[in-house]
């Protein structure tokens, strides 16, 4: 959490959906950070990512879109592939001069029969169409035309991203160095990015620090992974992804159910705005009920001077100099008051 949420801002640097090169973030981490920040609060989201898992990218896009406060997305250096999808969830998207944005069709690896490959093809096309719809909603373009651009792999400078509607503003601040990513995986990545990836040895299979350390100890010639081993590895990666997505979905569902429960409380009636604020805090339902019960309703009329005076009298305030605690003096005063009311001396 501390790595992506600092000083009240989100820092989405590195690989989308995992951690490589000591950088990365997942959908569940973003959801947790937004919950900690507060659903009603405005937030700035810094993006510097070469991409990653498409499903995590879409989940984060939905989380930013659903955030009730205003979301300002700043592309500090690069937002490519899944990172460009999640950036579309901002209310205002800012590109720094020298920054880049890239949209393209998602890709994947399939091992199996022709039927397995066909299922993957159908799934990838659906995923790409969903991405095109997200880009179209932001830019105001036609989803079909944008899908064609995605197939070609479209790289945009800051000014081009603003011109084509994928961003709202090109800011004057200088872009930061791009986040680590194997940009050689893309078909039309700028030469400087491909050279930088080669120079820095940004390769996904042994990207993390521990793998990089162990790589130095391996023999130069390694036995290639068999099809079964690769299939097992992919199955494990898919299981991890599904678990992450379930965690994110569960967090969103729990938040919605908690809010619905609070808004349905009897104590919420007439105190809806306060209930909305309390729903963003980590209070128990019982504490929320108690807080709402103690608060006046929005339509509660202010007490008259006579009502306030009577309340003070019943609380024993100012009776015989005895302070606020009711006692014998208060009871005597009440009896005297009743006699006066009925004309008894």
Rounded to whole angstroms, what are the CA distances from 231 to 248, 279, 326? 26, 44, 79
Mean pLDDT of 69-97: 96
Q: Does residue 145 sit in helix, strand or coil?
A: helix
Dump pLDDT digits (tens) for 125-178: 999 999 999 999 999 999 999 999 999 999 999 999 999 999 999 988 788 899
Res 300 pLDDT > 90? no
Predicted TM-score of the model (pTM):
0.59
pLDDT averaged over the chain?
A: 81
- 5-208 maps to CATH 3.90.226.10: yes
- Structure-derived torsion over alpha carbons of residues 204, 208, 209, 211, reported in degrees to the nearest 10: -70
Dump pLDDT digits (tens) for 331-345: 445 555 555 655 655
**CB of 54 closer than 8 Å to CB of 86:** no
Q: Where are the domains of the chain?
A: 5-208, 219-300, 305-342
- In 3D, which of 156, 141, 147 has the Cα closest to residue 127? 147
């Amino acid at each position: 959490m501390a790595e992506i949420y600092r000083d009240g801002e989100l820092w989405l640097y590195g690989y989308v959906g995992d951690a490589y090169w000591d950088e990365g973030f997942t959908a569940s981490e973003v959801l947790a950070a937004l919950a900690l920040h507060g659903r009603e609060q405005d937030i700035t989201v810094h993006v510097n990512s070469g991409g990653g898992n498409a499903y995590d990218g879409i989940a984060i896009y939905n989380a930013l879109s659903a955030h009730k406060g205003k979301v300002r997305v700043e592309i500090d250096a690069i937002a490519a592939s899944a990172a460009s999808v999640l950036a579309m969830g901002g209310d205002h998207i800012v590109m720094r001069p020298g920054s880049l944005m890239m949209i393209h069709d998602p890709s994947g690896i399939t091992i199996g029969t022709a039927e397995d490959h066909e299922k993957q093809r159908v799934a990838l096309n659906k995923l790409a169409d969903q991405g095109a719809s997200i880009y179209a909603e932001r830019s105001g373009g036609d989803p079909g035309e944008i899908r064609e651009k995605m197939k070609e792999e479209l790289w945009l400078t800051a000014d081009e991203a603003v011109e084509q509607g994928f961003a709202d503003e090109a800011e004057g601040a200088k872009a930061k160095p791009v986040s680590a990513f194997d940009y050689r995986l893309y078909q039309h990545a700028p030469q400087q990015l491909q050279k930088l990836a080669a120079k820095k040895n940004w390769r996904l299979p042994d990207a993390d620090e521990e793998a990089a350390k162990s790589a130095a100890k391996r023999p130069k010639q390694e036995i290639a992974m068999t099809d079964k081993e690769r299939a097992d590895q992919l199955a494990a990666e898919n299981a991890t992804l599904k678990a992450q997505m379930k965690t994110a979905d569960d967090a969103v569902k729990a938040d919605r159910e908690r809010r619905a429960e609070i808004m349905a409380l009897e104590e919420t009636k007439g105190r809806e705005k306060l209930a909305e604020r309390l729903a963003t805090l980590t209070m128990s339902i019982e504490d929320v009920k108690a807080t709402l019960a103690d608060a006046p309703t929005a339509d509660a009329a202010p007490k008259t001077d006579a009502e306030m005076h009577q309340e003070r009298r019943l609380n024993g305030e100012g009776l015989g100099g005895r302070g606020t605690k009711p006692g014998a003096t208060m009871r005597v005063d009440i009896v005297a008051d009743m006699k006066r009311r009925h004309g008894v001396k």
